[in-house]
Chains A and B, each alone.
Chain A
């Protein structure tokens, strides 16, 4: 349907007709992760990152030293350490990977580093020499992916270009999946921590299931895995939170009204970035179970409020959780406690 020549002309015109980078956006204050600060920035997050007391800074530095020892130079000791002390690794990941090591550790735990080493040159081939039926769909969504992050704001700037390249390469690598909206948030998140090629292979590792269950069913025709996860989640809500489950039934709320994006983008679409990162740390190591757990923990934390709300307010509340519920140090321990 798409990709006719007329369509090409249309879109070239729409996106400005050339691929020269647009003007660099004017300077705006950003948070520690590079997101442009809005007026309603979560104040608790700001305080904890900006004015860290010195003893907390020292603790952070000790943590980084421990992590460096664990992974070795460039990750050389990692596999040995994981074999010897899997529980230590699991515990430390659940506490959060130090931000300065995140990109490297994500590649180690997802198995993407191995994929890259086994398939050198493949990414370049995909980017430079292949064409994809999804190119126009991807272009249309590029400026709509993390629009509030400085890296992705400049039109045709380095951020937008690498996002395009990774998504196009993936749509060629797996033509059955192609490009589906939502994949951009995965790629965008990864690109903030690693190079294009590394991000591409991490997408491959996730969708094809290098370490954990493959995610590609979230994006295939019919979105079979989305349907499956949503109905599993609905059952879990009834089992674990019967009071809320009954209220949802009464108000005719089902998880497709609020949780599709939790699964499709692994919480990267609309959740505070520091929380999304902590979830991704665990997700890459332990798999999709943590998405269910975090979802259930959110509902559990807010249950007493949610059971009082009628349909419309409920739908709104399920998309706008209070700040305290979104604090990783509150939410994640609650999530880990869910069996």
Chain B
């Protein structure tokens, strides 16, 4: 990976994130709004997976989020579940105007835990908050589920942009916090206060060197 160092500034951290949830809850539009500030009222249904990256800064560190947007129809889990592996974060999305998509959330969480190989920081997202007259899932119900499952929770509208940035930023910040804690934990564990070379903490495709700063390893 180092050979590309001249071409583009390399970020400090690289987080792999997945967007999951039932078909037509608005996953692709959440990502379009977040990454490009766009919204398509009739966007094509996602077949397989789509991919976007977005960078942000936390504590003066540049963080790149690699976001995988997946097809929502159950049949596609045969190909999409492979993308859960190595993910450090997930946005699990339902549509506040369709109760069924909320009821399926626990199945999505089970799926995520079954296929991902570490604890994934998860934000529960109730999308289409602009559809006030059609609401079928109250904010309280979303909050209660998030508390029960120990998740962050936010209601969004990809249509009018409400909380879309917040949803992604919350996720990335939370991943960053968890990571910092883990690095600290590892440092506590070792008598010399250093991390051994090549010790993967939480990031896939990246190692943490003795200074605690990750370097890319492909």
Chain A contact residues, CB within 8 Å of chain B:
1-2, 4, 6-7, 10-11, 13-14, 137, 140-141, 143-145, 147, 180-182, 184, 219, 221-223, 226-227, 250-252, 256-257, 260-261, 264-265, 269-270, 310-312, 315-316, 319
Q: How far is the CA of A217 from the CA of B42 in the complex (A)?
A: 28
Q: How far is the CA of A180 from the CA of B46 in the complex (A)?
A: 12
Also in contact, A261 and B48, with CB within 8 A (given A6-B99, A10-B136, A140-B24): yes
Q: How far is the CA of A310 from the CA of B4 in the complex (A)?
A: 7
Stretch at the interface among B75-83, B111-119, B150-158: B75-83
Given B47, B66, B79, B104, which contacts A227 in the complex, CB threshold below 8 Å? B79
Chain A min CB distance to B117 (Å): 16
A260, B78: Cβ atoms under 8 Å? no
A251, B218: Cβ atoms under 8 Å? yes
Chain B min CB distance to A242 (Å): 19
Residues of A within 8 A of B97 (CB): 10, 14
A147, B42: Cβ atoms under 8 Å? yes
B75, A141: Cβ atoms under 8 Å? no
B71, A312: Cβ atoms under 8 Å? no
Q: How far is the CA of A162 from the CA of B78 in the complex (A)?
A: 29
Residues of B within 8 A of A312 (CB): 51, 53, 66
* Ranked 9 nearest A-B pairs via Cβ: A260-B48, A147-B42, A261-B47, A223-B78, A144-B45, A181-B45, A140-B24, A222-B78, A310-B4
Interface 0/1 of B92-124, CB less than 8 Å to A: 000001111000100000000000000000000
Interface of B is mostly: loop
A265, B47: Cβ atoms under 8 Å? yes
Given A4, A7, A144, A226, which contacts B43 in the complex, CB threshold below 8 Å? A144
Asked if B73 is at the interface of the complex by the 8 Å CB criterion, the answer is yes
Residues of A within 8 A of B104 (CB): 1
Q: How far is the CA of A182 from the CA of B48 in the complex (A)?
A: 10
Known: A14-B98, A137-B23, A260-B47. 6 other contacts (CB 8 A): A14-B97, A145-B44, A227-B78, A264-B47, A310-B1, A319-B51
B24, A147: Cβ atoms under 8 Å? no
Q: How far is the CA of A11 from the CA of B100 in the complex (A)?
A: 11
Also in contact, A181 and B4, with CB within 8 A (given A14-B97, A222-B78, A260-B48): no
Given A6, A147, A223, A251, which contacts B44 in the complex, CB threshold below 8 Å? A147
Residues of A within 8 A of B82 (CB): 256
Residues of A within 8 A of B218 (CB): 250-252, 311
Given B44, B51, B134, which contacts A315 in the complex, CB threshold below 8 Å? B51
B75, A7: Cβ atoms under 8 Å? no
Q: How far is the CA of A311 from the CA of B11 in the complex (A)?
A: 14
B48, A264: Cβ atoms under 8 Å? yes
Q: How far is the CA of A312 from the CA of B51 in the complex (A)?
A: 9
Chain A min CB distance to B199 (Å): 21
B24, A2: Cβ atoms under 8 Å? no
A256, B48: Cβ atoms under 8 Å? yes
Residues of A within 8 A of B79 (CB): 223, 226-227, 256, 260
Asked if B49 is at the interface of the complex by the 8 Å CB criterion, the answer is yes
Query: Considering only CB atoms, which chain B residue lies closest to A219 in the complex?
Result: B75
Residues of A within 8 A of B40 (CB): 147
Chain A min CB distance to B49 (Å): 7
Q: How far is the CA of A184 from the CA of B24 in the complex (A)?
A: 15
Query: Considering only CB atoms, which chain A residue lies closest to B101 in the complex?
Result: A10
Query: Considering only CB atoms, which chain A residue lies closest to B103 in the complex?
Result: A1
Given A223, A227, A256, which contacts B49 in the complex, CB threshold below 8 Å? A256
Residues of B within 8 A of A310 (CB): 1, 4, 7-8
Q: How far is the CA of A319 from the CA of B43 in the complex (A)?
A: 16
Query: Considering only CB atoms, which chain B residue lies closest to A312 in the complex?
Result: B53
Also in contact, A2 and B42, with CB within 8 A (given A180-B73, A223-B76, A223-B78): no
B73, A181: Cβ atoms under 8 Å? yes
Query: Considering only CB atoms, which chain B residue lies closest to A180 in the complex?
Result: B75
Chain B min CB distance to A255 (Å): 10
Q: How far is the CA of A135 from the CA of B40 in the complex (A)?
A: 24
Chain B min CB distance to A227 (Å): 7
Q: How far is the CA of A2 from the CA of B104 in the complex (A)?
A: 10
Q: How far is the CA of A145 from the CA of B46 in the complex (A)?
A: 11
B44, A269: Cβ atoms under 8 Å? yes
| Residue picked from A7, A10, A316, most chain B C-beta under 10 Å | A10
Residues of A within 8 A of B100 (CB): 1-2, 4, 6-7, 10
Interface 0/1 of B47-83, CB less than 8 Å to A: 1111101000000000000100001010110110010
List 16 A–B pairs whose Cβ atoms lie within 8 Å, in order of A's numbering.
A2-B100, A7-B100, A144-B44, A144-B45, A180-B76, A181-B71, A181-B76, A222-B78, A223-B78, A227-B79, A251-B218, A256-B49, A260-B47, A261-B47, A264-B48, A319-B51
Chain A min CB distance to B41 (Å): 8
Residues of A within 8 A of B24 (CB): 140-141, 144
